[in-house]
């Protein structure tokens, strides 16, 4: 199907002043650099609908509707994308010749996407996007949801990721100015990792456009990309597989409801007395151990966890005869309760770290962790504690394979594999 050329869309947007356009329909009031009005898209008593002349966008803090002039007119007048472009072109006295030959078919989707870094004032919007796209995908495909009802719980992703890697979140905006996708990435010494990727169910191609840009950046840096993708989600597996990612490992996601009183002392692994909280002095040993066991080097992440500026991280280490035999971090946050990242030399040290994290950090809650699928003894001991499988994940890497020995507990914050 014929698509509206990007230049035409840009020309139409450049020739339209969104304040004038919306001001013709709504009573706009100046508020500092922006304008305010009662939202036309949901019922409200006090105005939460804003128009920004500098960005040429509108945003409603009440219902979350957001977009540029094309998006406004589509929503306000229930027009298809081509009809909205045509209407604005007419209003701006652009030659109708230029826009008359688009099909009127509403399926002519507003592509391509504009890929740009996330702005600091868009965290709530990106949280809502992550919440909506993830819960929609799981509801439609697996008849369940991942996140609770509050979209703002997903602010954990922009908050933590932007503290760790400022500027490393890309968003995809469609031609109506709406955010339709987001993806976080983490440049490190040995590799880049790809954080959570989301695209709203109504968009096609946004995830691909984001991935293309991040693979281009990683290729320019000459480093491999790594991620952990859900094996229950073929859409994401295929997205990465098509882009050249190869599956290298399988993980079993396990959850356990930890009693308020802690883990049953009778189940305590032999080595728990060698487990202790990490300090900054452990940093070099942690970094070296992870590189030895999983082949990746990333001091920044471990420094960030031990500094714990957010008050949500706990890193435990286990001492062996010649230095550290393992470490395991965990996060306790309303939006994410997860053990990892961590590595350890063998089953006994891995179990001592897992049990200690569950007992010390997660009493009265139900955290998740990813155990190597082939770690039979470890997995069966976890079953014995009452753990259940809830998902499978695949480590997928692009450009360079990964050597590993020992146990790896990956995580999504930031992603490792």
Residues that bind ligand COA (CB under 6 A): 133-134, 137, 196-199, 203-208, 229-230, 233-236, 238-239, 242
The answer to whether 104 and 83 are in contact (CB under 8 A) is yes
Q: Is-contact 87 77, C-beta < 8 A?
A: yes
Q: What is the DSSP string of 370-383?
A: EEETT-HHHHHHHH
Distance CA 68, CA 59 (A): 9
Q: Which is nearer to Zn ion, 41 or 385 (CB)?
A: 41
Residues 8-47, one symbol each (x = binds Zn ion by CB under 5 A, - = not), give -------------------------------x-xx-----
Closest approach, Cβ 230 to ligand COA, in A, equals 6
Instruction: Point out which residues pair with 74 in neighbouring strands.
Output: none
Could you give the maximum distance between any two Cα atoms of the chain, in Å? 80
Q: Which is nearer to Zn ion, 37 or 263 (CB)?
A: 37
Nearer to ligand COA, 293 or 394 (CB): 394
Residue 381 interface partner, choices ligand COA, Zn ion, none, CB cut-off 5-8 Å depending on type = none
Smallest distance, Zn ion to C-beta of residue 43, A: 9
Q: Which is nearer to ligand COA, 50 or 396 (CB)?
A: 396
Distance in angstroms (rounded) separating the CA atoms of residues 187 and 177: 28
- Count residues near Zn ion (CB under 5 A): 6
In angstroms, give the least distance from the CB of 362 to ligand COA: 23
* Binder of residue 9, out of ligand COA, Zn ion, none (CB less than 5 to 8 A by kind): none
Q: Which is nearer to ligand COA, 19 or 109 (CB)?
A: 109
Q: Is 62 in the site for Zn ion (CB under 5 A)?
A: yes
| Residue 242 interacts with which of ligand COA, Zn ion, none, CB < 5 to 8 Å by class | ligand COA
Between residues 229 and 402, which has the closer beta carbon with respect to ligand COA? 229
Strand pairing report for 179-187 and 169-173: antiparallel
Only one of the segments 59-67, 279-287, 308-316, 342-350 lies at the binding site for Zn ion (rule: CB under 5 A); that segment is 59-67
- One symbol per residue from 103 to 142: x for binding Zn ion (CB under 5 A), - otherwise; what is it? ----------------------------------------
| Residue 396 interaction partner, one of Zn ion, ligand COA, none, beta carbon < 5-8 Å per kind | none
Q: Does 152 sit near Zn ion (CB under 5 A)?
A: no
How far are the Cα atoms of 52, 278, 334, 354 from residue 310, in angstroms, in the given order?
Answer: 32, 16, 13, 22
Neighbours of 309 (CB within 10 A): 11
**3-class secondary-structure state, position 142:** helix
Return the structure tokens found at 81.
Answer: 């994308």
Are 133 and 199 in contact by the 8 Å Cβ rule? The answer is: yes
Cα 23 to chain centroid distance, Å, stands at 36
- Among Zn ion, ligand COA, none, the one that 60 touches (CB under a kind-dependent 5 to 8 A) is Zn ion
Spatial distance between the Cα atoms of 249 and 101, rounded to a whole number of angstroms: 50
Q: How far is the CB of 343 from ligand COA (least distance, A)?
A: 22
Write out the two tokens for 181: 């996708």
60 binds Zn ion (CB under 5 A): yes
Q: Least distance in Å: CB of 64 to Zn ion?
A: 7
Strands, DSSP E only, in 361-412? 368-372, 388-398, 407-409
Q: Write the DSSP string, 244-292.
A: T-EEEEEEEEEE----TT-S-GGG--GGGGGEEE--GGGHHHHHHHHHH
Pick from Zn ion, ligand COA, none: which does 363 bind, CB < 5 to 8 A by kind?
Answer: none
Residue 239 Cβ vs ligand COA, minimum distance, rounded to whole Å: 4
Q: Give 49 or 123: the residue with its C-beta nearer to ligand COA.
A: 123
Q: Which is nearer to ligand COA, 66 or 131 (CB)?
A: 131
Residues between 271 and 300 with contacts to Zn ion, criterion CB under 5 A:
none
Residue number with CB closer to ligand COA (30 or 139) = 139
Q: b/e string for 36-69 if b means 16 or more Cβ within 10 A?
A: bbbbbeeeeeebbbbbeeeebbbbbeeeebbbbb
Interface residue list for Zn ion (CB under 5 A)? 39, 41-42, 60, 62-63
């Amino acid at each position: 199907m014929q698509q509206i050329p990007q230049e035409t869309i840009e020309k139409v947007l450049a020739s339209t002043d969104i304040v004038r356009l919306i001001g013709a329909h709504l009573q706009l009031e100046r508020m500092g650099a922006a304008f305010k009005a009662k939202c036309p898209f949901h019922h409200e008593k006090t105005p939460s609908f804003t128009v920004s002349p500098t960005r040429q966008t509108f945003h409603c803090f009440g219902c979350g509707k957001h977009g540029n002039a094309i998006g406004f007119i589509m929503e306000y007048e229930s027009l298809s994308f081509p009809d909205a472009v045509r209407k604005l072109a007419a209003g701006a006295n652009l030659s109708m010749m230029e826009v008359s030959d688009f099909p009127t078919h509403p399926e002519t989707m507003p592509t391509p996407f504009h890929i740009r870094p996330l702005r600091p004032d868009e965290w709530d919007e990106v949280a809502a996007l992550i919440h909506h796209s993830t819960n929609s995908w799981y509801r439609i495909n697996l008849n369940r949801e991942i996140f609770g009802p509050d979209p703002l719980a997903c602010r954990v992703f922009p908050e933590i990721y932007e503290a760790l890697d400022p500027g490393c979140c890309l968003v995809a905006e469609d031609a109506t100015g709406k955010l339709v996708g987001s993806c976080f990435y983490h440049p490190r010494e040995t590799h880049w990792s790809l954080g959570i990727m989301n695209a709203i169910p109504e968009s096609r191609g946004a995830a691909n456009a984001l991935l293309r840009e991040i693979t281009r950046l990683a290729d320019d840096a000459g480093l491999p990309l790594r991620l952990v993708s859900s094996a229950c989600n073929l859409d994401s597996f295929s997205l990465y597989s098509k882009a050249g990612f190869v599956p290298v490992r399988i993980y079993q996601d396990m959850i356990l409801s930890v009693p308020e009183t802690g883990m049953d002392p009778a189940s305590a692994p032999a080595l728990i007395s060698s487990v202790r909280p990490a300090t900054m002095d452990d940093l070099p040993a942690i970094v070296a151990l992870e590189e030895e066991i999983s082949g990746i080097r990333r001091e920044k992440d471990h420094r960030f966890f031990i500094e714990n500026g957010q008050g949500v991280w706990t890193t435990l280490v286990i001492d062996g005869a010649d230095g550290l035999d393992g470490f395991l971090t965990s996060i306790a946050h309303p939006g994410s309760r997860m053990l990892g990242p961590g590595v350890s030399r063998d089953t006994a040290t891995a179990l001592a770290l897992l049990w200690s994290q569950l007992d010390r950090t997660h009493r009265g809650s139900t955290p998740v962790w990813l155990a190597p699928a082939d770690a039979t003894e470890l997995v069966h001991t976890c079953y014995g504690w009452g753990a259940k499988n809830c998902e499978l994940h695949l480590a997928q890497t692009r450009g360079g394979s990964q050597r590993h020995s020992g146990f790896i507990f990956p995580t999504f914050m930031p992603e490792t594999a």
